[in-house]
Chain A
Amino acid sequence: MSARTATVPMARRRSGRGRLLERGLIYLGATLLALFILVPIYLIAVSALTPRENAFDFPHSVVPAELSFDTILFFINASGVIDSFWRSVWVALITLALSLLIGAPAGYALARYAFRGRSGYRLLVLSTRAFPIVILAIPLAVTYRVWGINDTVIGVALMHTALALPFTVLITSSVFVSVPRELEEAAQTLGCNPLQAFLRVSLPLALPGLAAAAIFTWVLSWNDVFAAVILTLRNPTLPAHILSALTQSPIYFQFAAGFVMLVPSLVVIFFIRRYLLGLWGRVVK
């Protein structure tokens, strides 16, 4: 390629007006793409904040005449919602704790030690992503019935941990790579044993990255519907409860449900905005 480009004669600089036009078009495209993302979020917010008795008014006005929490309160007080909400919180917390407890040590090992089988282990973890998640839930439901943890918070959390673990290992490994090992070694020359050096030096420095990894895990667990539907029956998580309630619930219930599930995701993305590329972008390499 370089041989070919080298023969191209030095071209004239494009005129300032052409550049300006191009710049303008890029801004226009950027804005349209942003509207495609933002407008639906705005619309579901208006839908969820419209009082129930106005839910069927037609046509809707894009600028709402009246906003109220009436529909959202109706949703929150509907039977099963609060219970399933807390179940979802517990499932996500257990998933988060388990995947960090099990995954972070492996991530640390990948980042800090050169050992036989290191690249083999990495490949193994990466290859889990080639397997669809759908395939795990059905056999696990069978196993859980034998173990007696079918339809429980812990059962769902264990399955979510299996989903999250490969990501946790890779993310924490890149977090620990970014903490200079020299600091840890310096601590050891000053009399710390390896564990103390880790706890007092590396861990505090790695904390923001680990928090981002934890939030990533939370999102994964909070958003899962399929596994939760398969693994629960009378004790569903929030998404599983909403999914099974969809057909026999009024449309404003759906709007409030969609909005309530959406808000935490938006907040979370805001808090880890700096880590977006590191979490979702780089771990695929």
Chain B
Amino acid sequence: MTSRLGWAPYALLIPSLAFLAVFFATPMVQAFALAFEGPDGGFSLANIQRMLGDTSFRSALLTTLALVVLVIPIQFALAMSMALVVNARLKGQGLWLYIYALPLGISELAAGIVWVSIFTQSGWLNSILIGLGITDRQITWQSAETPWLLIACVVIAEAWRATSIIMIILVAGLQSIPREFLEAADVYGATTWQKIRRVVLPMLRPSLQVALILRTILAFQVFATVIALAGTGLDVLASEAQRWATDIDNDNVAAAYAGLILLLSLVSTILFLVLLPTREEHQA
């Protein structure tokens, strides 16, 4: 069969290219046009200044950064443990993977509400603490007065919800490590910990890099979990973007917030590419 249709692949690609041009590339450019658009339609920094001068800007930026810095290491520690369990050939291997993957399909909002049922004043955590005799009064976990506790609630909920995606990427990476490497380490009497440090982690580097980049970009957009657990008690960048877009009806400042999220994502992506160079960069 040599009757190759030279134009066929291009014809098959065109619809997706056209769609992405209209609904992906154009809005990206428009976002910056909106952010730098003055009242007269010309270039202006007024929206940026308005965002920077907004009373909740500082707290939104700091809370978002704090969440990213706290959540990512916890998620990676959990995901790594889960991935190693899945790869350890325990009984019911598929079942472990399935359980750890369950949160993949759970939305930010649903996950937030799940943890509301635990952290709320008359919720499960206080019930269990009182039942165990650890405390005799209901502790208030979710209060705007104690933002650090609120942040801790969000961190736990996010660790519960969004660890699975990292776990899956790491499991896929682990499965591409040849068994012989680990068996060789066994022959030399390496302990489990040595095997992880010397064989698994170095070979897992490309997967770790991809997972870090992906997860960090998503973490900068944290939104519904925060609203469910903290209401207006915590500001984050995405909730500020939403507030300016829908409540205040100012798309320009909202776009400035969105642009800031994009900027942070790009900076973190570049950072991970530089800090965690992989020799297999070209394999993409």
Please give the residue numbers on chain A whose beta carbons come within 8 Å of chain B beta carbons, in ascending order. Answer: 1, 5, 8, 10-14, 22, 26-27, 29-30, 33-34, 36-38, 40-41, 43-44, 47, 56-62, 101-103, 105-106, 108-109, 112-113, 115, 118, 121-126, 128-143, 158-159, 161-162, 165-166, 169, 185, 188-189, 194, 219, 222-226, 229-230, 233, 239, 242-243, 246-247, 251, 254-255, 257-258, 261-262, 264-266, 268-270, 273, 276-277, 280-282, 284-285
Contacts and interface: CB of A to CB of B under 8 A. Distances in A.
A285 B223 contact: no
Interface string B7-44: 01110110111011001101110110110000000000
B113 A239 contact: no
29 contacts: A1-B198, A10-B187, A14-B189, A33-B82, A37-B100, A59-B130, A109-B8, A109-B10, A113-B4, A118-B9, A130-B269, A131-B28, A131-B262, A134-B223, A136-B23, A139-B34, A165-B24, A223-B107, A223-B110, A225-B109, A226-B238, A229-B242, A230-B245, A239-B109, A255-B117, A257-B113, A261-B106, A265-B110, A277-B175
B118 A132 contact: no
Given A230-B242, A262-B114, A280-B169, A135 B107 contact: no
Contacts of B188: 5, 8, 10-11
B23 to A, nearest CB: 4
Given A102-B15, A130-B265, A255-B113, A37 B258 contact: no
Given A30-B96, A34-B99, A246-B228, A5 B185 contact: yes
Contacts of A131: 24, 28, 262, 265
Contacts of A239: 107, 109, 224
Give chain B's interface secondary structure class.
helix
Given A58-B138, A109-B8, A243 B224 contact: yes
A47 B127 CA distance: 13
B188 to A, nearest CB: 5
A41 B102 CA distance: 10
B261 A134 contact: yes
Contact of B165 (A10, A255, A280): A280
B189 A10 contact: yes
Interface string B53-96: 00000000000000000000000001001100100101000101
A43 B117 contact: yes
Interface in B118-136: 118, 120, 122-124, 126-128, 130-131
A177 to B, nearest CB: 14
Contacts of B17: 121
Nearest to A255: B117
* Size category of the binding interface on chain B: 35 or more
A26 B213 contact: no
Contact of B1 (A169, A185, A277): A185
Nearest to A260: B110
Interface in B169-190: 169, 171-172, 175, 184-185, 187-190
B231 to A, nearest CB: 6
A285 B214 CA distance: 12
A265 B126 CA distance: 28
B266 interface: yes
A258 B116 contact: yes
A202 to B, nearest CB: 13
Contact of A243 (B98, B109, B261): B109
A284 B109 contact: no
